[in-house]
């Protein structure tokens, strides 16, 4: 494109909150044939909320629903929750929140906020370790507490099979379910004590963005560290084909996943917001960052969407197309 056309395109973009980092990016965007969305914070609001707390007793049996996660309304005619269940659930939530207090992860923030909203006291853990892509491990009141995915517990030798059905149910609802385990001091006998779940809201324009891209003949994919079932539930809500979902992708593997997608000559636009997404944004044909995302993502990207709106992905491609057609 001529410098004048590039200037016009860049200016039009800026007017829509679509910031192109230079003329070459503006030229490349029109060739995008595949858009790969990160899930959390990109297709979803990234504002997690605690939705469920489930307790298991030491025999691995499900403790009767105590309703601890519900903010109950008066006049609610659901069955009265059991007191024993409620106490057990509050203890699961309390331990999970203490363990998560040291984490900045949105999943962790929701657990801590949820516990505090329910009147629980959440002191700092004595020791804390973040296990990226899996969860946290912390020293709480003399015991070790684990909060995270199946892999985290398996690696610690904790049997989580009793929670399988509960996990699947929550995941089918599109929630991120996390296992909570306690390893008593001086032993290797970690036991499952419960499950907590967080839910996120899909952005209101996400489905329209996916539809508009498909109307243009652009393939739409999703990539996430979250598990397959939750990822598919969200994909279904926004209209992404289940076979286009790459779930359980570790932070360090996201860029390799984008390279694999591009290996057959595809020109992918990766859209993301997190530190995790930065390497993938850098290797994509076009990297697009969500404006409210992390600085690292914005630096790695070629385009920034100031309005955090997935529909602006379509706008970016259209502006590129229009700019380059005019000068032909
Ligand atoms: P995402 O791509 O959705 O940001 P991550 O790669 O950060 O996901 O994490 C992948 C999975 O690891 C999460 O879905 C969750 O099961 C688990 N996990 C990560 N961090 C935490 C945490 N602080 N507490 C509990 N579970 C966690
Ligand atoms: Mg994200």
Integer Cα distance of 175 and 17 in angstroms: 31
Half-sphere exposure of 23 (CA within 13 A, CB side): 9
Closest CA to 46 of 313, 316, 310: 310
The model's pTM is 0.82
pLDDT score at 83:
85
| 320 and 235 housed in the same domain | yes
| 126 and 177 housed in the same domain | yes
Evaluate: CB of 225 within 6 angstroms of ligand 1.
yes
Evaluate: CB of 234 within 6 angstroms of ligand 1.
no
Burial of 86 (0-12, 13-18, 19+ CB in 10 A): buried
Evaluate: CB of 176 within 6 angstroms of ligand 1.
yes
Which ligand sits closest to the CA of 179?
1
Q: Which domain holds residue 29?
A: 3-45+201-326
| 37 and 54 housed in the same domain | no
pLDDT < 70: residue spans in the chain = 71-80, 326-328
Looking at the chain, the number of H-run helices and the number of E-run strands are 12, 13
- Provide the residues around ligand 2 (an ion) whose CB is within 5 A: 38, 40-41, 273-274
| 254 and 187 housed in the same domain | no
Q: What is the ipTM of this complex?
A: 0.95
50 in Cβ contact with 118 (< 8 Å) = no
Of 97, 99, 102, 107, the one to substitute when testing ligand 1's pocket (max ligand atoms within 8 A of C-beta) is 107
- Residue 271 pairs in a beta bridge with 37, 288
Evaluate: CB of 148 within 6 angstroms of ligand 1.
yes
Question: Whose CA is closest to atom 8 on ligand 1?
Answer: 225
pLDDT score at 328:
47
Strands 219-223 and 245-246: parallel
Paired tokens of 188 = 């290797």
Integer Cα distance of 51 and 21 in angstroms: 40
| 67 and 149 housed in the same domain | yes
Of 199, 219, 240, the last residue of a domain is 199
The secondary structure element, H or E, covering residue 24 is helix 23-29
97 in Cβ contact with 111 (< 8 Å) = yes
For helices 228-238 and 164-172, what crossing angle results, to 10°? 20
Closest CA to 291 of 11, 10, 14: 14
Evaluate: CB of 42 within 6 angstroms of ligand 1.
no
Evaluate: CB of 91 within 6 angstroms of ligand 1.
no
Half-sphere exposure of 190 (CA within 13 A, CB side): 21
Q: What is the CATH number of the domain that holds 223?
A: 3.40.50.1000
| 86 and 32 housed in the same domain | no
Integer Cα distance of 280 and 143 in angstroms: 38
Active-site amino acid positions: 38
Number of structural domains, the chain? Answer: 2
Which ligand sits closest to the CA of 257?
1
pLDDT score at 205:
97
Instruction: Report helix, strand or coil for 222.
Output: strand
| 235 and 108 housed in the same domain | no
Question: Whose CA is closest to atom 12 on ligand 1?
Answer: 134
Evaluate: CB of 133 within 6 angstroms of ligand 1.
yes
What distance in angstroms lies between residue 250's CA and the mean position of ligand 1's atoms?
9
Closest CA to 86 of 103, 99, 74, 72: 72
Of 199, 227, 250, the last residue of a domain is 199
| 160 and 205 housed in the same domain | no
| 195 and 55 housed in the same domain | yes
| 55 and 182 housed in the same domain | yes
Half-sphere exposure of 258 (CA within 13 A, CB side): 29
Strands (DSSP E) along the chain, which ranges? 18-20, 34-38, 49-55, 127-131, 135-140, 143-148, 176-183, 191-199, 219-223, 245-246, 268-272, 286-290, 303-305
What distance in angstroms lies between residue 254's CA and the mean position of ligand 2's atoms?
11
Question: Whose CA is closest to atom 9 on ligand 1?
Answer: 133
| 215 and 169 housed in the same domain | no
Q: How far is CA 202 from CA 7, 73, 328, in A?
A: 34, 25, 39
Question: Whose CA is closest to atom 2 on ligand 1?
Answer: 225
Q: What is the CATH number of the domain that holds 151?
A: 3.40.1110.10
Of 150, 181, 199, the last residue of a domain is 199
Q: Which residues of 19-45 are buried (b: 16+ CB within 10 A; e: fewer)?
A: bbbebebbbbbbebebbbbbbbbbbbb
Ligand 1 atom closest to residue 224's alpha carbon, by position in its atom list: 2
| 271 and 183 housed in the same domain | no
Tens digit of each residue's pLDDT (9 = 90 or more) over 56-102: 998 888 888 888 887 555 555 656 678 888 999 999 999 999 999 99
pLDDT score at 133:
87
């Amino acid at each position: 494109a001529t410098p004048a056309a590039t200037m016009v395109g860049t200016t039009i973009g800026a007017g829509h909150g679509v910031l192109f980092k230079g003329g070459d990016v503006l030229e490349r965007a029109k060739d995008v044939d595949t858009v790969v969305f990160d899930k959390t914070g990109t297709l979803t609001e990234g504002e997690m909320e605690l939705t469920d707390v489930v307790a298991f007793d030491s025999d691995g049996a499900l403790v009767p629903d105590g309703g601890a996660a519900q903010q109950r309304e008066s006049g609610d005619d659901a069955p009265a929750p059991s007191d024993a269940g409620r106490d057990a659930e509050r203890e699961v939530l309390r331990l999970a929140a203490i363990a998560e207090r040291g984490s900045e992860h949105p999943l962790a923030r929701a657990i801590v906020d949820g516990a505090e909203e329910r009147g629980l006291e959440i002191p700092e853990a004595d020791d804390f370790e973040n296990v990226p892509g899996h969860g946290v491990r912390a020293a709480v009141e003399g015991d070790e507490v684990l909060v995270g995915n199946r892999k985290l517990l398996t690696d610690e030798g904790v049997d989580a099979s009793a929670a399988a059905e509960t996990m699947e149910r929550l995941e089918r609802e599109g929630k991120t379910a996390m296992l909570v385990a306690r390893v008593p001091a001086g032993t290797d006998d970690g036991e499952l004590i419960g499950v907590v779940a967080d839910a996120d809201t899909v952005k209101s324009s996400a489905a329209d963005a996916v539809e508009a891209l498909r109307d243009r003949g652009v393939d739409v994919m999703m990539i996430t560290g979250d598990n397959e079932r939750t990822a598919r539930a969200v994909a279904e809500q926004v209209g992404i084909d289940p076979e286009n979902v790459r779930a359980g992708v570790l932070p360090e593997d996201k860029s390799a996943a984008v390279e694999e997608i591009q290996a057959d000559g595809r020109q992918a636009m990766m859209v993301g917001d997190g530190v995790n997404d930065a390497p993938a944004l850098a290797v994509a044909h076009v990297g697009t960052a969500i404006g409210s995302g992390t600085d690292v993502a914005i630096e790695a990207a070629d385009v920034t969407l100031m309005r955090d709106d997935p529909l602006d992905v379509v706008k970016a491609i259209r502006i590129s197309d229009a700019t380059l057609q005019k000068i032909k």
